[in-house]
Amino acid sequence: MDPRISGFDYRRVTVADGVSLNAAVGGSGSPIVLLHGFPQTHLMWRHVAADLAADHTVICPDLRGYGASDKPADTDGTAYAKRTMAADVVALARELGHDRFALAGHDRGALVAVRAGLDHPGAVTHLASLDVLPTLDMWDVMHGTSAAVGFHLYLMAQPPGLPERLIGASPDAFFGHFLDVWAGDPEAIPADVRAAYLRASREAVVSIVADYRASAGIDVEHDRADRGAGNRLRMPVTVLQQDWGAALGFDAAARWRAWAPDLVHLPVSYGHFMAEEAPAEVVKALRALLDR
């Protein structure tokens, strides 16, 4: 059996027709939902969730397409749109009794969180993003040889067929690569958790690729529409981010400020998997956000 978040209950919650999410739920108090990144599952929040559960209801789902959550086929290009995945999160919280909640996301989960904040401002009270840019900005800053760091974005943007075959031929090598090169402290992901991440990812190649493919298509369309309409995040926002701007030549805080007027932008020195590498610092930032 895969590791679990100690002291949390596990539930399957129906969030859409034919789609249920696996979610770990613990604690009591005002709710906060924590969304994982790639190539991970809800387990990445195990340290942060345990701390926050002292005085909050903490909900840690596997996103659709990941972990033990359902992985619907993407028949029309919308099944893994961040708009669809954000609606899952709002439905999950509502089914658990929460019409309003704070929301934090890492990596892919942060893109879902941003879309939830834009589409459901009445539901999301506070928003935190760990180590990404909004989708439209991500593509804007990727150029020249420096874009090689994001090779996986371009691979999984290709039409259905080739990416799935290539990744499926050696999934542990592919997904393990990111666990290795993105970690500032490899010891932060112990062997049993790493094995759980790799097992979950190898069983979800098609849906993970669909998630990324959406970010090169329909998600960009949605972001462009919001930018054109002047739609921005109305709630307090905190961003924790490695200094990718220095490497790729952009001002990350300015990029975020265009979307989030009430912004705290915190450059960090630890690795990409910050909720596992520096959980105390992440908790400190989240608690400060919740006090705003």
Report residue 244's pLDDT band, with 50, 70 and 90 as the boundaries.
Answer: confident
Per residue in 11-33, pLDDT (tens digit) is 999 999 999 999 999 999 999 99
Amino acid (1-letter code) at residue 61:
P
> Phi and psi for 82 in degrees, rounded to 5?
-65, -25
Report residue 231's pLDDT band, with 50, 70 and 90 as the boundaries.
Answer: very high
Segment 51-72 mean pLDDT: 98
- For residue 43, the 8-state DSSP code is G
Per residue in 33-45, pLDDT (tens digit) is 999 999 999 999 9
Per residue in 111-125, pLDDT (tens digit) is 999 999 999 999 999
The average confidence (pLDDT) of the chain is 96
Query: CA quadruple 51, 56, 60, 63: dihedral positive or negative?
Result: negative
In this prediction, residue 156 carries a pLDDT of 98
Question: Is the backbone peptide bond immediately before 39 cis, with ω within 30 degrees of 0?
Answer: yes
Annotated catalytic residue within 51, 62, 74, 107 = 107
Q: Answer left, alpha or beta for residue 131, where phi above 0 means left and psi between -120 and 50 means alpha.
A: left
Per residue in 149-177, pLDDT (tens digit) is 899 999 999 999 999 999 999 999 999 99
Report residue 146's pLDDT band, with 50, 70 and 90 as the boundaries.
Answer: confident
Which stretches of 42-190 are DSSP H helices? 46-52, 82-95, 108-119, 135-141, 151-155, 162-169, 171-181
Whether 107 is a known active-site residue: answer yes
Are 200 and 60 within 8 A, CB to CB?
no
In this prediction, residue 232 carries a pLDDT of 98
Whether 126 is a known active-site residue: answer no
46-60, 107-121, 184-198, 243-257 — which is least confidently predicted?
243-257
Domains and CATH numbers, the chain: 9-291 (3.40.50.1820)
